[in-house]
Amino acid sequence: MRVLIALGGNAMTSADGKARPEDQIAAVTLAMEPVADLAADGLDVVVTHGNGPQVGNLLVKNELAATVVPPVTLDWCGAQTQGTIGFIVVNALERALAVRGVRRRVAAVVTRTLVDAADPGFRRPTKPIGRYLPPLEAKVLIEHGQVWEDRGPRGWRRVVASPEPLEVLDAPAVAALLAAGFVVVANGGGGIPVVRQPDGSVAGVEAVVDKDLGAALLGHALGVDVLVIATDVDGAVLGYGTTDERPVGTVDAATLRGYAAEGHFAGGSMGPKVEAVCRFVEHGGRRAAITTLTGIADAVRGEPPSTATIVLPSDTREVTGHA
Ligand code: ADP
Ligand code: MG
């Protein structure tokens, strides 16, 4: 059995949302416990992760240091966070495996995700990233070509394209490592966004890919059986934020899409997770889950608590199978 675990930002920062190095190491150490259990059971395990707080921190450094060292573009920020997060995940996972007496190797792969240069997101950026700034400071960055939006009382915030991920270009490297028995960390932050050039080569672009949609695509490319999206809530609920919240529980993709169409899942948070789990099972995945870190093992075993969201293929789905 092959599983893909997607860790949310909460798995990599402290509860206050800060991302000090020691917070990140502590959070990742905790997150690697269930991952190590799966690896100890002999499963093929792939880990992917978000990078929102980390990219936010890099952007602040860019802004503050712009007169001293050249600012770097968003694709570089993505690559840098894949490097540092991959590093601490590999360290923590190796340690958790050693404690269990399991001799499996771990590797992190710098992973690029192909997007379309004509994606509408590039003409009309919608994804807010980084910190809020007062209007005058935002104005300076707008003059440098960035798009910033007035987000109300907290100030202005940068918005960037979040294009549709089309292909995880480095999936074959991940597959080769899995075949060699490695536990693999890949496609962090949804993958480094790149576009195809006329000469066939690729180049990075100023964008961020949604981590959950990137996970669904990677899962499909690797023939993953079970995708688990681990986040800071037990699962998706209907009537979120009302006195009548009800867990979605175990549903098929068509039913879940129906709930999404009724507007139950907020854009930018639960919305993309729901879209990702639906896509995954619609393209041949056996099961997908949205749950907490502590729910991962049960979700993989198929015995999750009723608050976890479990998505199964719809009977009427078009069975496309794995690539
Ligand atoms: P992650 O960092 O794991 O990607 P997000 O903050 O992006 O986490 O998404 C999880 C959040 O989605 C929850 O903390 C919750 O506030 C929000 N959310 C929005 N709609 C729902 C819903 N219908 N059910 C559960 N959580 C929801
Ligand atoms: Mg998120």
Average pLDDT score, the chain: 94
| DSSP state, residue 112 | E
Given a cut of 70, is residue 166 above it in pLDDT?
yes
- Averaged pLDDT for residues 7-25: 82
- Residue with CA closest to ligand 1 atom 11: 269
Q: How far apart are CA 253 and CA 287, in angstroms?
A: 10
Domain with 15, as residue range(s), is 2-116+165-224
Q: How far apart are CA 33 and CA 96, in angstroms?
A: 6
- Residue with CA closest to ligand 1 atom 6: 269
Q: How far apart are CA 47 and CA 108, in angstroms?
A: 9
Ligand nearest to the CA of residue 7, numbered in listed order: 1
Residue 141 structure tokens:
């960055």
- The total domain count for the chain is 1
Residue 303 structure tokens:
């015995």
Q: What is the pLDDT of residue 320?
A: 44
Q: Is 91 one of the annotated active-site residues of the chain?
A: no
Is 232 near ligand 1, meaning CB less than 6 Å away? yes
Residue 308 included in any domain: no
Any idea what the CATH number is for the domain that residue 42 is in? Answer: 3.40.1160.10
Ligand 1 atom with the shortest distance to the CA of 229: 3
Q: What is the pLDDT of residue 63?
A: 87
* 289 backbone dihedrals φ, ψ, rounded to 5°: -140, 150
The residue whose CB lies within 8 Å of the most ligand 1 atoms, and thus the one to mutate among 81, 209, 269, is: 269
| Helix pair 270-282, 253-261: axis angle to 10 deg | 150
Q: What is the pLDDT of residue 319?
A: 45
For residues 160 and 127, the answer to whether their CB atoms sit within 8 Å is: yes
Q: Is 10 one of the annotated active-site residues of the chain?
A: yes
Given a cut of 80, is residue 262 above it in pLDDT?
yes
Residue 155 included in any domain: no
Q: How far apart are CA 292 and CA 7, in angstroms?
A: 9
Residues 78-118: tens digit of each pLDDT: 999 999 999 999 999 999 999 999 999 999 999 999 999 99
Ligand nearest to the CA of residue 238, numbered in listed order: 1
Is 5 near ligand 1, meaning CB less than 6 Å away? no
Is 269 near ligand 1, meaning CB less than 6 Å away? yes
| DSSP state, residue 100 | T
Residues 178-236: tens digit of each pLDDT: 999 999 999 999 999 999 999 999 999 999 999 999 999 999 999 999 999 999 999 99
Is 231 near ligand 1, meaning CB less than 6 Å away? yes
Q: Where are the alpha helices (DSSP H) in the chain?
A: 21-40, 52-65, 74-99, 120-123, 135-143, 171-179, 211-221, 253-261, 270-282, 296-301
pLDDT-derived band at 318, boundaries 50, 70, 90: very low
Ligand 1 atom with the shortest distance to the CA of 264: 23
pTM: 0.94
* 152 backbone dihedrals φ, ψ, rounded to 5°: 90, -150
User: Which one, of 170, 304, 132, lies nearest residue 229 by Cα?
Assistant: 304
Q: How far apart are CA 281 and CA 311, in angstroms?
A: 7
In terms of phi and psi (left: phi > 0; alpha: psi -120 to 50; beta: otherwise), the region of 184 is: beta
Residue 190 included in any domain: yes
* 60 backbone dihedrals φ, ψ, rounded to 5°: -65, -45
Is 240 near ligand 1, meaning CB less than 6 Å away? yes
Centre of ligand 1 to C-alpha 176, Å, is 33
Residue 179 included in any domain: yes
Residue 293 included in any domain: no
Residue type, 169: L
Residues 148-159: tens digit of each pLDDT: 999 999 999 999
For residues 220 and 285, the answer to whether their CB atoms sit within 8 Å is: yes
User: Which one, of 159, 221, 166, lies nearest residue 193 by Cα?
Assistant: 166
Is 266 near ligand 1, meaning CB less than 6 Å away? yes
Residue 25 included in any domain: yes
Is 314 near ligand 1, meaning CB less than 6 Å away? no
Q: Is 9 one of the annotated active-site residues of the chain?
A: yes
Residue 300 included in any domain: no
- Of 19-23, 125-129, 190-194, where does the model show the most confidence? 190-194
